[in-house]
Structures are given as structure tokens and as C-alpha cells.
Amino acid sequence: MSDRSVSFILATHNRCDITLNTLNHVHACGLPVGDFEVFVVDNASTDGTVDAIRGTFPDVHVLPRGGNHGSCAKAFAIGRARGRYVVFLDDDSYPQPGSIERMIDHFVSDDTLGCAGFTVHLPDGRRECSALPNVFIGCGAGFRRDALLSVGGLDESLFMQAEEYDLSFRLINAGYHVQTFDDLHVEHLKTPQARQSARTTYHDTRNNLLLTHRYLSDSQRSIYLRDWTQRYRWLAAINDHRPSFVEGRRAGNTRGRRERIAGRHKQLSDQAFETLFRTREIHDRMSVLADEGVERILLADLGKNVHPFVNAARECGLSILGIADDRFASVGNAYRGAPLIGMKDAAKCKPDAVIVSNTSPVHAAVTRDRWSPFAPPVHAWFAESADSRRHQIASTCPPIPADTSA
């Protein structure tokens, strides 16, 4: 294989037709024959997936597993991949033509680039995006294979949910860049099987709490352990998945404490933490507002990384009138003393400024667009620019898929 060779890896379970459709698109990615290979890790499908792939695509490497290992089963193929670059897909996601060639060009032009995230498009016009700006989405991400191997690859034990955070944390902590590009595009069909389930709630809770134990310092861990426990409790209440939350919380904390005692994982450096959570940047921006005479602010969105916004506002002497978020206002009264209110009530608060308290580029842009008709200045520091092609998403704000808001 050439220096521009690519290994595609996806995992599946009992979704034969969907997987065959994806493979058709992957073979039309635009790379010359011989410059790419495809691995499908089959999680013990019983619907004929393995035989169908082998009969239709004899060049695809099918790796059957003895059980269902979730989306993280992709880890099983990494050691077998021969490409210089590795691309993760879901069994219902595929790259648009030309994106893979452009991905390779990004890697060639930046030796520090460890992961090139794709812009992920959903069928309803929305976009998927991580809650943190330097975390990729697992249904469309390319990796420098050497970087992927050097940090230990994908953690198969996570099964599903937050594996992108785990791998992004390790790559950034090792000095690699993780960046999402607006000229790399993946279509994600987001099939009905992928909707929020009790299993998703369990793994969301377990794995996110596990990450706080793995990678955050003592002071950071106490903050995010409390915040994320509360967040997933409220999400479980919204979805009527309370037992799954309780099980996930117990499993995440038990395993996390054991790993922390054993010292199995390296905590994030100060630089890596700032790259991911933007604490200093948010404080500096909030300080500028205070210097400009802003006194009363409204925070819009109870984002996964809301704490730096609340903490910075208080340190800068700003009065927080409330946090506007229709989803969480229905199940919670306050976040760290700041009242949670619906958007209609929030619009009556008459703040000096509205701050979009979300570091997810896509979701921050959605919230900015919802608030833009109101009189106070709206500051969306992490939102993508409204006039860029990559921001052509719906202006409405329906419930966000668990993977994107988690």
C-alpha cells in the first residue's frame, strides 16, 4: 500500500442491509483501488451479515466476534490495519466523495495532527458535534495510524458512548492535535436503532464518570464528577431511565476509583485540560464583558461544560439571572445556585448580555441563532460562524441525540 493508503474500520450487529449500503459508499470514496482496505468487525450478527458481505464484497476483511462488543469493537481491527491512516465509521455512516483525499492532505500538511474529525450530517439537516471543541465524533474520524497506536488505540471495554472523549483526551495529552474540518463530510443515517435507549443511558453515565476518574486532577474531578452525575441523572429522568442511571453511576465510580488507585491512566496536563475545557479562555472573555460595564447576564444552555461559564461570571462579579434551557428546566431547579428557566421566562429577564454557555461548536451556533432576535447582545464564543457552509443546520432546536449532547 502507498504512503497515502487508508484503512476503513466499522463495527456492526444485525444490520445487514444498512452495512451493505455503507460499504457501497465506502468503495466509492474516490481513492484508487489498492490504496484502501476495509474492515468490518461483526458483533455476532445472526441476520446473515457476514455471509452477505463476503458474497458481495470479497475484498472486505470481515472479523467475526464471539459476542456484541458495541461500537468500540473497531478496536479489534486496528492492529490488523495496514494503512498509513485509519478512518472510523459507523455501519450507517459514510464519507462524501473527495473527503478522504482532503483528509490525507490535512495529515500531510500537519505532522502534529493525530485525528481529523469529519463534519457529520444527519438526515434531518442537523449536525452531530461533541460537547467539547477538540473531541471527534466516532462515526466519522480519521487518524494517523502511528498516533493511534502510540496512545493505545480505542478502549474496547467502553462498549459505546464517550469512547471519543477517552481517545481524544489521550491523543491531546500526548501532544497531538484533534481537529474537526469543514471540508471533510460524513453522512450519518442515524437509523432508528440508534435512538436513546436505557442501554445508552447506562453507558453514557458509566463512561463519562469513568473519564473524570481517569483523566482529571483532584480539583477538576470533584467539579465534573458532581456536574456530570447531576447531568445524567436529569437526562435519565427526561427519558424515564432512572434504573439505568443508577447502575451506570455505580459502575463508573467503582471502576474509576480502582483505576485511579492503580494509576492506570495519565491525568491531563494543564495545557491539555485547557485545550479541551477552555477554562482560562472563558474567564478572560467574561472579564472583558465586566470591564465593558456588563453587570447582569443570562446564560443560555446547560451545556456539558457549563461550569467554567458560571464560575468565571461569579469571579468577575457578574450577576447570573438564570440558565435558560428548556430541557433541564423541566427536571431541575438550579445549577450550583443559578436558577434553571425555560426560554420564554428567560426572555423576560432583561439581561445586559446573553452568554451561550456551551462549548460545542454546533450546539452553540443553534443556541446563538435562537437568541439572535432578542435585544441583548448574544455572545457565542465557541459557535461556528453563521455564514460558513459547515453551519447550515436547522435553526430549530429539537431534542439532541444522546451522543451529541453527552
Task: Please check the confidence at residue 193 and state whether its pLDDT lies above 90.
Answer: no
Q: Which residues contact 95 (CB under 8 A, 6 or more apart)?
A: 25, 26, 29, 87, 89, 118, 140, 184, 185, 186
The average pLDDT across 35-59 equals 98
Predicted local distance difference test score (pLDDT) of residue 123: 94
Rounded to whole angstroms, how far apart are CA atoms 195 and 122?
A: 13
405 against 47, higher pLDDT = 47
- Torsion, CA 115, CA 217, CA 222, CA 273, rounded to 10: -40
pLDDT in tens, 285-326: 999 999 999 999 999 999 999 999 999 999 999 999 999 999
Give the pLDDT score at 195.
53
Whole-number average pLDDT of the chain: 92
pLDDT at 224 exceeding the cut of 70: yes
Q: Is the pLDDT of residue 372 over 80?
A: yes
Residue 365 CA to residue 122 CA, distance in Å, equals: 16
Q: Which class would CATH give 6-190?
A: alpha beta
Pairwise CA distance, residues 51 & 64, whole Å: 11
Say what the pTM is.
0.93
> How far, in Å, are 230, 248, 320, 349 from residue 224 at the CA level?
10, 16, 20, 28
Domain positions in the chain = 6-190, 198-267, 278-405
pLDDT tens string 156-186:
999 999 999 999 999 999 999 999 999 999 9
Q: Give the separation between CA 333 and CA 335, rounded to whole angstroms.
A: 7
Mean pLDDT of 69-95: 97
| pLDDT score, position 191 | 61
What's the confidence (pLDDT) of residue 389? 38
CATH T-level fold of 278-405: Rossmann fold (3.40.50)
Let me know if the fold of 6-190 is the same as that of 278-405.
no
Picking from 380, 366, 305, the residue whose alpha carbon sits closest to that of residue 335 is 305
Nearest to 65 by CA among 55, 56, 76: 76
pLDDT of residue 387 exceeding 80, the answer is no
Cα(229)–Cα(259) distance, integer angstroms: 19
Q: What is the pLDDT of residue 34?
A: 92
Asked if 399 contacts 374 with a C-beta cutoff of 8 angstroms, the reply is no
> Which amino acid, residue 307?
H
Whether the pLDDT of residue 392 is over 60: the answer is no
Query: Where residue 32 falls among pLDDT bands split at 50, 70, 90?
Result: very high
Rounded to whole angstroms, what are the CA distances from 374 to 303, 326, 344, 346?
21, 17, 11, 11
325: Cβ–Cβ under 8 A, 6 or more apart, which residues? 300, 301, 302, 340
**Is the pLDDT score of 394 beyond 50?**
no
Q: What is the DSSP letter of 143?
A: E
